[in-house]
């Protein structure tokens, strides 16, 4: 059991005596605060913060970080306020403790509570990276003592550790902690699978010992000949990594264990590349399996050369080559190289990348709709297999596997993503949905006034892009819903012979407060989105308004004009796909605004039962938009007929949105088309041209 005296002795190795005294005083304060509290194991509660501080002492963290570790549960568990910690010690320690403290408020669900907690922690992390280091050490000790908890709670904590804390440790380059998280989490979440793999590894280890020894000796002899002065040792595969590879790559245990892994540690970067040449001369390299993470480090600052070789008897050998500093950083990450107060000191690449990631988290947090959406976006970013993309200026951006030009645009800047209209990949125009590959140069083409397309959400990968698109669409929808809400309230007031500009401020304020909103624009947005009925709001606005204004606007009582440019708050029903020229009717749908249907649409019979949700609408006289319409054609099979059909439609200035073919028998087929036309006259012209095609038996418009 760790004691404060043992910890103090350990700290004197790298802290001065005054700083050690501060740490001891923090322990004494925490010991008094936690007096009478015990853990599930029955031991005094103070043992937990002491163990957390000991973990951080092994990382050689500074005295403020160690003080925060000793005090990290004081605010939540003992009722000691933050300002008391600030006055007793200092504000920086108080901020660290507050950042680590869990939220004690109640939330709607456990998932939301965890998400809120993580969101709060992220804000504190962005200010000071030490917050996450204390949190990781706290979670590590909890995982080490998980056996005292009930099975259900044990599994929940293990799952959260594997899903969030292990990837964060990896993102920050802290490999030792990440591996321990994964091993402990795997054992708690899947005890049977863990024990089976452990037994299999133990058996395999005995069989592999001789082969590993032979390969090790041959590599050492080769490096000695070239006088490279390297250390070589075999790498043990961890249980969770074996399980993860078996599951992800659908391989058997034997296939995973057939790969022999070695690490070579050298003195400098130059020797890394010379060592690579030596091992490639010793055994033949596997094509396409070499990765240079020294020239282009991973997102967490990790640097190493990776190569796979064909060893003796064709056995695959994985080799990692790195310097002593790279090895240290690979294991301890930013815990080994951090920068707090001194902005003059040059930060390590890993620390800079960690700070950039924290800043990215802060941007995500500010733009996310709620904490659950935020944590979903963060989880996406925590599991990247990176691709490295170049900007036209030669800057390198790390993106997850499968990222598109849209993801790249948002990685550069949110405004660039929002105004993106096209892209060039390696100087050639390419679809925005193209998955990027490492080494490509991507140029984003922008247009002023452009807005994100909702369809982008179906192919983007990064959390930042998803959050940026959703945020821009919410903003767009809000603006459009306010404009539509104003039009609807104007019409509703006109039926009461009133006008909005003559309604008093007090009446507006009263109605807004009654709706439990803040501003009148919020109320207009709710009306535009269909969450509030314009007629009801109009009646409330005029309840306390005496008399009738001189200017009655009875002409506004006619149908609402549909321009086709209303955006996200006016939708066109897919069941009947109305187009200009069709007789139409509007349905107020909560959260979607107005949905436009054909008057003859079969679905309207059910909706008409709620007349308060129905609205008279008409098309504007001049429209400069295209609308989707569905056609069905019956045709006789003939080579090249589909190509003729497509060229006929495009020749009539219509665009094909979607096409599918259903073969009815050897001679006949049905073609379903969704095309874009400007109005009914345009549609009639398209249908007339299609009817002239040889072998088209029938063409009709699908209305419901």
CATH number of the domain that 647 lies in? Answer: 3.30.70.260
Region 316-341 average pLDDT: 74
> Do 109 and 200 have their domain in common?
no
Query: Has residue 630 got a pLDDT over 60?
Result: yes
Averaged pLDDT score across all residues of the chain: 82
Per-residue pLDDT at 125: 60
Highest mean pLDDT among 99-103, 378-382, 453-457: 453-457
> Do 184 and 253 have their domain in common?
no
679 in catalytic set: no
Query: What is the DSSP-derived secondary structure letter of residue 502?
Result: G
With a CB cutoff of 8 Å and minimum separation 6, the contacts of 219 are 232, 262, 264, 279, 282, 319
> Do 91 and 130 have their domain in common?
yes
Query: Has residue 115 got a pLDDT over 70?
Result: no
Q: How confident is the model at residue 340 (pLDDT cuts 50, 70, 90)?
A: very low
Question: Is 627:578 a contact under the CB 8 Å cutoff?
Answer: yes
In this predicted model, which residue has the larger pLDDT, 144 or 209? 144
Gap between the Cα atoms of 35 and 44, Å rounded:
8
Query: Of 277, 312, 335, which residue constitutes the final position of a domain?
Result: 335
Task: Tell me the two tokens of residue 181.
Answer: 């998280």
Instruction: Name the residue among 553, 559, 565, 517 with its Cα closest to residue 537.
Output: 517
Q: How far are the Cα atoms of 21, 137, 262, 444 from residue 68, in angstroms, in the given order? A: 14, 11, 39, 45
> Do 208 and 289 have their domain in common?
yes
Q: How confident is the model at residue 416 (pLDDT cuts 50, 70, 90)?
A: very high
Query: Has residue 108 got a pLDDT over 80?
Result: no
Q: How confident is the model at residue 249 (pLDDT cuts 50, 70, 90)?
A: confident
Q: How many domains does the chain have?
A: 3
Per-residue pLDDT at 187: 92
Gap between the Cα atoms of 585 and 630, Å rounded:
19
Asked if residue 93 is part of any domain, the answer here is: yes
> Do 214 and 326 have their domain in common?
yes
> Do 180 and 47 have their domain in common?
yes
Per-residue pLDDT at 80: 84
Region 121-144 average pLDDT: 78
The predicted-structure confidence for 181-206, as pLDDT tens digits, reads as follows 999 999 999 999 999 988 888 887 77
Asked if residue 367 is part of any domain, the answer here is: no
Query: Has residue 482 got a pLDDT over 60?
Result: yes
Gap between the Cα atoms of 590 and 485, Å rounded:
13
> Which residues of 170-329 form beta strands (DSSP E)?
231-234, 260-266, 284-285, 291-292, 305-310, 316-323
Q: Is the sign of the CA dihedral 378, 381, 382, 383 positive or negative?
A: positive
> Do 85 and 226 have their domain in common?
no
Enclosing domain of residue 690? 627-701
**Catalytic residue of the set 31, 62, 77, 325:** 77
Pairing of strands 428-430, 420-425: antiparallel
Per-residue pLDDT at 106: 33
Per-residue pLDDT at 280: 92
**Catalytic residue of the set 31, 62, 76, 267:** 76
Instruction: Name the residue among 92, 94, 76 with its Cα closest to residue 84.
Output: 94
Region 263-275 average pLDDT: 92
> Do 264 and 230 have their domain in common?
yes
In this predicted model, which residue has the larger pLDDT, 358 or 166? 166
> Do 109 and 214 have their domain in common?
no
CA angle in degrees (0–180, nearest 5) for 506-593-463: 105
CA angle in degrees (0–180, nearest 5) for 233-173-239: 55
Per-residue pLDDT at 564: 66
Neighbour-count burial of 79, counting CB atoms closer than 10 A to its CB (0-12 exposed, 13-18 middle, 19+ buried):
exposed
Gap between the Cα atoms of 347 and 643, Å rounded:
61
Query: Structure pTM?
Result: 0.58
Region 46-73 average pLDDT: 89
The predicted-structure confidence for 3-32, as pLDDT tens digits, reads as follows 888 989 989 988 889 999 999 999 999 999
> Do 126 and 247 have their domain in common?
no
| CATH code, domain with 76 | 1.10.3210.10
> Do 40 and 145 have their domain in common?
yes
Instruction: Name the residue among 490, 478, 575 with its Cα closest to residue 531.
Output: 478
Per-residue pLDDT at 549: 47
Query: Of 172, 192, 212, which residue constitutes the final position of a domain?
Result: 192
Asked if residue 80 is part of any domain, the answer here is: yes
Asked if residue 520 is part of any domain, the answer here is: no
Query: Of 304, 335, 366, which residue constitutes the final position of a domain?
Result: 335
Gap between the Cα atoms of 132 and 136, Å rounded:
6
Residue count of the chain, please give it. Answer: 704
Region 217-228 average pLDDT: 89
> Do 181 and 286 have their domain in common?
no
Q: Within its chain, how far is the Cα of 573 from the centroid?
A: 31
Asked if residue 252 is part of any domain, the answer here is: yes
77 in catalytic set: yes
Task: Tell me the two tokens of residue 154.
Answer: 């044990």
| Number of helices and strands in the chain (H, E) | 28, 20
Question: Is 303:291 a contact under the CB 8 Å cutoff?
Answer: no
Per-residue pLDDT at 113: 59
Q: How confident is the model at residue 547 (pLDDT cuts 50, 70, 90)?
A: low
Angle, in degrees to the nearest 10, between helices 191-225 and 175-189: 150
Instruction: Name the residue among 298, 257, 255, 305 with its Cα closest to residue 280.
Output: 305
Region 366-376 average pLDDT: 61
Region 105-131 average pLDDT: 59
Asked if residue 84 is part of any domain, the answer here is: yes
Q: How confident is the model at residue 464 (pLDDT cuts 50, 70, 90)?
A: confident
Asked if residue 447 is part of any domain, the answer here is: no
Query: Has residue 380 got a pLDDT over 70?
Result: no
Asked if residue 214 is part of any domain, the answer here is: yes
């Amino acid at each position: 059991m760790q004691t404060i005296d043992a910890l103090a002795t350990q700290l004197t190795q790298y802290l001065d005596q005054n700083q050690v005294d501060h740490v001891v005083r923090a322990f004494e304060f925490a010991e008094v605060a936690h007096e009478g509290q015990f853990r599930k194991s029955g031991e005094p509660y103070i043992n937990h913060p002491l163990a957390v501080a000991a973990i951080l002492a092994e990382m050689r963290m500074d005295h403020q970080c160690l003080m925060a570790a000793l005090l990290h549960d004081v605010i939540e568990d003992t009722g000691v306020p933050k300002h008391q910690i600030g006055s007793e010690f200092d504000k920086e320690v108080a901020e660290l403790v507050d950042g680590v403290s869990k939220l004690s408020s109640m939330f709607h669900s456990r998932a939301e509570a965890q998400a809120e907690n993580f969101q709060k922690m992220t804000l504190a992390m962005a200010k000071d990276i030490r917050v996450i280091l204390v949190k990781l050490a706290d979670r590590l000790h909890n995982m080490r003592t998980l056996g005292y908890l009930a099975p259900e709670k044990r599994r929940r904590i293990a799952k959260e550790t594997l899903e969030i804390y292990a990837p964060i440790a990896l993102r920050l380059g802290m490999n030792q902690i990440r591996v321990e998280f994964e091993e402990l989490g795997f054992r708690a979440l899947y005890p049977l699978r863990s024990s089976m793999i452990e037994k299999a590894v133990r058996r395999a280890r005995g069989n592999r010992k001789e082969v590993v020894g032979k390969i090790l000796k041959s590599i050492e002899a080769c490096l000695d000949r070239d006088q490279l002065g390297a250390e070589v040792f075999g790498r043990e595969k961890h249980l969770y990594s074996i399980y993860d590879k078996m599951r992800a790559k659908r391989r058997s245990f034997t296939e995973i264990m057939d790969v022999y892994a070695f690490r070579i540690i050298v003195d400098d970067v130059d020797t890394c590349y010379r060592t690579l040449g030596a091992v490639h001369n010793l055994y033949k390299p596997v094509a396409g399996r070499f990765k240079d993470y020294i020239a282009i480090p991973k997102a967490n600052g990790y640097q190493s050369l990776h190569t796979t070789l064909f060893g003796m008897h064709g056995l695959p050998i994985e080799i990692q080559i790195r310097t002593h500093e790279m090895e240290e950083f690979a294991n301890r990450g930013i815990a080994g190289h951090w920068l707090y107060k001194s902005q003059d000191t040059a930060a390590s690449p890993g620390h800079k990348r960690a700070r950039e990631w924290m800043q990215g988290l802060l941007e995500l947090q500010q733009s996310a709709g709620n904490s659950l959406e935020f944590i979903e976006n963060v989880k996406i970013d925590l599991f990247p297999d990176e691709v490295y993309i170049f900007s036209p200026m030669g800057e390198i951006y790390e993106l997850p596997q499968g990222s598109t030009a849209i993801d790249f645009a948002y990685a550069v800047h949110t405004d660039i993503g929002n105004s993106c209209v096209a892209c060039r990949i390696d100087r050639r125009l390419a679809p925005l949905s193209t998955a990027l590959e490492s080494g490509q140069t991507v140029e984003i083409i922008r247009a002023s006034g452009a807005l994100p397309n909702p369809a982008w959400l179906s192919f983007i990968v990064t959390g930042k892009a998803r959050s940026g698109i959703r945020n821009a669409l919410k903003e767009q929808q809000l603006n459009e819903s306010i404009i539509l809400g104003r039009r609807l309230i104007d019409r509703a007031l006109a039926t009461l012979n009133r006008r909005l500009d003559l309604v008093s401020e007090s009446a507006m304020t009263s109605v807004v407060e009654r709706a439990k909103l803040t501003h009148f624009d919020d109320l207009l947005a709710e009306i535009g989105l269909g969450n509030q009925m314009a007629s009801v709001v109009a009646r409330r606005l005029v309840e306390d308004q005496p008399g009738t204004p001189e200017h009655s606007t009875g002409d506004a009582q006619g149908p609402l004009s549909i321009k086709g440019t209303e955006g996200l708050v006016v939708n066109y029903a897919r069941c009947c796909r109305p187009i200009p020229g069709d007789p139409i009717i509007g349905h107020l749908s909560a959260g979607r605004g107005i949905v436009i249907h054909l008057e003859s649409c079969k679905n309207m019979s059910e909706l008409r039962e709620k007349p308060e949700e129905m609205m008279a609408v008409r098309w504007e006289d001049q429209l400069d938009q295209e609308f989707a319409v569905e056609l069905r054609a019956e045709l006789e099979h003939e080579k090249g007929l589909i190509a003729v059909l497509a060229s006929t439609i495009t020749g009539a200035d219509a665009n094909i949105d979607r096409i599918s073919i259903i073969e009815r028998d050897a001679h006949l087929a049905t073609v379903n088309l969704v095309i874009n036309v400007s109005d009914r006259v345009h549609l009639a012209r398209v249908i007339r041209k299609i009817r002239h095609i040889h072998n088209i038996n029938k063409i009709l418009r699908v209305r419901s």
